[in-house]
Amino acid sequence: MPATDTSPVADVLKTAEDWRGAGRSVALATVVETWGSAPRPVGSHLVIDSDGNFEGSVSGGCVEGAVVAEAVDVIDSGVPTTLEFGVADETAWRVGLSCGGRIRVYVEPVA
């Protein structure tokens, strides 16, 4: 029997595939770089549809909301983008970046 990948990354990518198969417009956000403390490692994914529904995680807090909003724009335009978020230690927890980390997230439409 073949092995199946049940990792969170595989689950998010499977969701993207399922949503596209169902005719939904979809974008995929991927953490491509981190500095300092970051809540999710490089390679973490968030799949978003044109209605703003999402699964997975790239950070949490306000960062995730900003990525979802940008992903809807990416779906509409078809143009990928790279987002960068960084926060000083004193405000880090409020926006979902523990201990003042920075992250870079690539957002692309899924064809």
Residue range of the domain that includes 87: 8-19+26-110
Tell me the DSSP string of the chain. ------SHHHHHHHHHHHHHHTT--EEEEEEEEEESS-SS-TT-EEEEETTS-EEE-SS-HHHHHHHHHHHHHHHHH---EEEEEE--GGGHHHHT-GGG-EEEEEEEEE-
Q: Is residue 87 part of a domain?
A: yes
Prediction pTM value: 0.81
The reply to whether 78 falls in a domain is: yes
Instruction: Name the domain count of the chain.
Output: 1
Residue 3 lies in a domain: no
Within a domain: 1: no
> What pLDDT tens digit does each residue of the chain (111 aa) get?
334 434 556 799 999 999 999 999 999 999 999 987 778 899 999 999 999 999 999 987 778 899 999 999 999 999 999 999 876 555 555 555 555 678 999 999 998
